[in-house]
Structure 1
Amino acid sequence: MPQASMPDNESQRLARLAQLKVLDTAPETIYDQLAQAAAAICETPIALVSLIDADRQWFKATIGSSGVHQTSRDVAICAHTIKGSSLMEVEDTWADARFKINPLVSGDALIRFYAGVPLRMQAGECVGTLCVLDRVPRKLSQAQIAALCALGQSVAQALQERAARQQLSQQLAASEENQRLVIEYQTELISLAELDGTLVFVNEAYAHYFGSQAKYMTGHNLFDYIHTDDREAVRQHLTWGDDDVVRANGVNRMILADGSARWVAWTNRRLPACDGRAPLIHSVGRDITAQKNAEDALKESEGRYRQLYESTPAMLHSIDHTGRLLSVSDTWLEKMEYSRDEVIGKPSVSFLTPESQQRAVNHELPAFFSKGKCQNVQYEYVTKSGKRINVLLSAVLEYTEDGAPKRSLAVLQDVSDKHAAERQQRQAAHLLQVVMDNIPARISYWTNDYRNIFANTAFQRAFKCEGQALAGRFTWEIMGEGWWRKIKNIVDVALTGQEQWFEVSSVDDSGERMDTELRIAPNFFEGRVLGVFVIALDITPRRLAEELRLAQRAREQLERDAQELQRLLKERNEMLDVLAHEVRQPINNASAALQWAQRALQLSGTQDQLNPIGKAQAVLYGVQNSVNNILAVATQLSHQSEPMTADFDLDMLLSISAADMPETERWRIEIVNTSGIKTLHTDASLLRLALRNLLKNALDFSSAESLVTLKISESDQECGLNVDVIDRGAGIDANVLPRLFERHVHGYHLGRVSHGLGLYIVREAMTLLGGTVDMLATGPSGTCMRLYLRDSLR
């Protein structure tokens, strides 16, 4: 068994302990009360005031351990505590290598819990501990730790004040011996003085007291020997009328020859004039300095004790033999919402509920005054505002020298929150059980050794064990070996702290399919997995419904796809019909006529006559080219095929798009590229088609002398490109703006009418490219159309 090493200041510590002169003394009420308070606050059966001597620990106070007054130091747990500067707590001595084989731990005493605070003297020496013990493992709350430390300070203060009182008593005894000798040699201070204080006689004791001789003191003024702070009060005290003959007693400080101050009790009386002698003041004095110092020290000690008592962070009160309150702690006042003046002198039972009052008066108080102590008596107090507080009261009784009850020290533990929490816990447990039993999910809790602790009604019903005692049984005994083999490995993973979700499909005895969703959730406590919650839900109806919904959704999607296909086919056919019948046939006829006219003029005409024919053919060529493009796009749009994207040189693509315009119009196109982009990833044919239509519209519907700007810029959106086509025409009719990109919608510029397909084709092409087309502006000064290409930059 490892023993505690000696503190560094062991010799000074033992010397200070010896100076206290407290070892092997009789029990004293103050230490018993403080130990009782510690046990009550910390809710332990044992509390000790332990003093560590050279080879033993001796108990000045023992609560809950009667008959044991000391132990060997080598087995004392407190011998470890005195080496530290703060509270030492051992929650379980069996788990601590220092103490698990200690005979106080493993023997009959069976100490499983220990908490102790060092009793530190003013110079730093630790002479012992105030400790609490229990026979079961536990842990103190922060409030209990604070209270135990405060009580430890009170014990240390009481030990030091006890030693101070002993020293004062010794000094007083020595002083009394000196006074006896003085009295034997007539050492009372006797003087005669005139009314103004002039000394006319002093005895030798008086003169010796002030370090002088009688013959040298006569003629001096007695007020010169009085302390300056007391001089005026004494002067007023010794003022009499001419005809008075009075006696006046008083206590004041006198200044000796060495400058020190001493307390003297005086008996003064006025001697009337006699035989021509003036009235005199006759004074007899006695030095009471030691008595005065002892009284002051006692008052200071009592004041400190009261301050410690009142400021202790626990509900404390004391009553007299009639049950009236003598003192209360600040915490008591705070809890009860009173001031000290409102409660001192009041019967303590007046703050109880009627039920608690009746029990206190008829039973608890008589038993307390008979036995001299009580422990954990339940009372219900009523605060000033009417709120009820549940407390556990423990108290000890202090007696007078003749054995009569003097006063009590009671510790009240507020357990209102604890009672409320227990009530709520019971209600919550009942509600949880009701809820668990009324939900369809099968729920149980298993420990980490696979034992069942709880199973709701649904779980019991599923495994045909309703009404059986399941707590403590192994899970495979309840579920059967087959189910257990399916889930054991998963349960083991959950017991490592990883929550598990999975589904199990099975077929019951009747051949019906069953789908079960299982959730196995670990239960953590202080970082350890204590067990798992098992939640099983029959999801067969949900799975069947999901499969039905998926089938229905697939069928509906097929129907929608078929309808959309029919619509697209119809749309394509309509467009092809328009181009074939309304456009291509007249173009073909016009082309044939121009060819005939050209051949005729070549035989008989001039070059000037042939030029218009050439221009007409160029225009007709452009129209034919547009028609062919429209037909190609219409076919592509109808199939909604995926774009054929690749990397293209941006400048080349722009140049090709401009070259698609008539040769006579190309000079009007200005290309402005502010993006710095060189490569574009897109379907070049679709983008070229969109640009061809926008450029053609811009050239056709603006004046022949105006420019058309093709502007390229990076989009504010990530990896996007803007392509703007800007003309200086008369703008688009406001009536068609809402339907501008619809098929067969015509915009009017300079009195000319479009075919109504160009902007529709642009929109469809940009949709296939994953981009957009927007009209940014239109008006009398021109129109700006923007193509936006998304994710096209490389």
Structure 2
Amino acid sequence: SIRGKVEEITGYTKEEISSCNPSWGQIIHPDEFLWLRPKMDGARAGSLNISENEYRIVRKDGEVAWVHELVQIVCEGPGHSAKVEGVLYDITFRKRTEAALKDSESRYRELAGLLPLIAFELDLEGRVTFYNQKGLEVFGYSPEDLRRGLTIFDVIVNDDPDELEGGFRLALKGVCPDYELLMKRKDGSAFPTIIKTAPIIRDGHPSGLRGIIVDISERKEMEEALRESERFYRTIIEDQTDLICRFRPDGVITFANDAYYRYFGKTREELIGQTFMPLIPEEDQEMVRQKFSSLSRDSPLTSYEHRVVLPGGLVRWQRWTDRAIFDDSGELVEFQSVGQDITEKKKLDDELRRAHKRLMDIIGFLPDATFVVDEDRRVIAWNRAIEDMTGVRKEEIIGEGDYAYAEPFYGSKKPMLVDLIFSDDEDTASHYDRVIKTGKDIFGEVFAPTLYGGRGSHLWAVASPLFDDEGRVVGAIESIRDVTERKRAEKMLQRAHHELEARVAERTRELEAKNAEMERFVYTVSHDLRSPLVTIQGFLGFLKEDVRDRDVEKIDADIEMISDAVKNMDYLLQDTLRLSRIGRVANPPEAVPFGEIVRGALGLVSEMARSKGVEISTAEGWPILHVDRLRIREVLVNLIENGIRYSAGRPRPLVEVGWRKDDEETVFFVRDNGIGIDPGQQEKVFELFYKADPEGEGTGAGLAIVKRIIEVHGGRIWVESEEGEGSTFCFTLPVVD
């Protein structure tokens, strides 16, 4: 009989299982059945009385579940069959939990293996049960060493084993402070570490420790280096010749170096804990206090100069740089100050001021317009000549920066030649007609459009750097001269020179074009005239043989071929002569409506069009041209005949004569709906004696003659065509406004 939750576990009803539909063997997962079958057979044979198994089954809904089975074989005596009694538990949840735990453990081990730190695990006796790869590498142990029984106490350097044991027990209880320990490798070498641990809890109880070990050798070295650095810099400060001190906001000195004591002739005991204000003359003290009060967390630095009174009453000058020091809350806690004696510099500054005044007097009387800028490019000198040139008085511009000196010259603030002393800027140089560098000096030529009330002037300028005693650029000077008259003379000379060069170049181009055209003409004529000559020469040989053989029929044929070749040569020579005459004055150009020329051409081609069955259409409103009427009529006749020739035989053959406006240009055209021209052949159609069809009519000179006539009139001609789509010959001619 079946009792309990068998239906809940398997999905099958008690009736289905009791009737063995399906059998229990069919419910067992096929993979499990392979090892369970022998045990089941043994039970039936009586070799097993009690059996306990865990295996998978396939539920009625197809889902796989795990079960725990406890069965026994019961025999009621001879003549009775054995019965199976047992209990079945659903352990699917437990199995899934175990699998998840194994997966989690595996991921933990994989992650630990990737850590750049040493990761480890210990059992309750302190034996190392796991080291990640980093731990094995650092300590020098192998997995075999761990299996032989390595403990955490074997790798810690400590003379007190009780202390180690006590710390280990505390860690198991969850009292896990960070320990700084000296640890040793397998080879005996020691290194400092920090060890962090946490107890491993299983079933609510600690089963060991898990943790990481951080090698702090580098940190220890850095700490020692920092201590050494502090000793080093303290020594430097003490040995400085600059005066260095620290003082509270009330001015009481808290630190001073030896140079400070020596300078004021006082001991440490006399200065530390005392304010420094009595050392400063009373008239300078308020300025110093204002400097201190101006400092803030955002602006903690200031520099200033003041006098001091030394023992004996000697007054000297000092320059101080102070830094305000604030705590984390933003409260001012102290000042740090570095000072130098600048008494000699002050004397030198006075001498420099006197020398500067003398220099300004010299610059003021220079005949060329001159100005000087300092290293910040502020004007510090502006002489009388530049006042006269620009109309700007010295008092208006001294001290001005931001390229203010350029405004009188260009109407706007922008770099000038003097700025190239400070930075080699290509954009600035490009504003000048030319820039020449010679040593440290820079020469330039430019047109200043706003000088002299907007009349403008051509200027020649030179800029030079000004150096201090150390060779550092501290300013620059620029002198400017008006060269307008010289430029005007140069331009007149250049214009005459350019005109002469242009005429020579134009004549040279014309001659080169003529020569090139002549070369092409001679080559083409010699090539195409040679063809009938070869024919004549060949058939003269045949004629001699046929005369000798007295073959009258062949003699007549030979003579006919020679005659055709002579006629062909005559046509070629006539076309060549026509082409050579184009360009000579045949008929003087005249103003003529293009419509009249079109009508004249149609009268010459109408019979050909009628015989070929080709329709000709023309546009209206023709413009007036200034051309040789007969030459242009020849152009139209040639183009229309071509259109008739190549459109004949097409459905509804048509030739159109028209015109259009392309932007500002008037374009005339002759269009047909014939066979069209391959794009690769369109440039060749205008070559002398070129024929698309070698067996076709004519010599192939027609379009070359047309092109020559159009070009002689100052126009151009081209073809627009697609193979099989017809052709449009376009050309331009001079139109009378």
Name the TM-score class by shorter chain. Answer: 0.3 to 0.5
TM-score (norm 1): 0.37
Higher RCO (CA 8 Å, separation ≥ 6 residues): 1
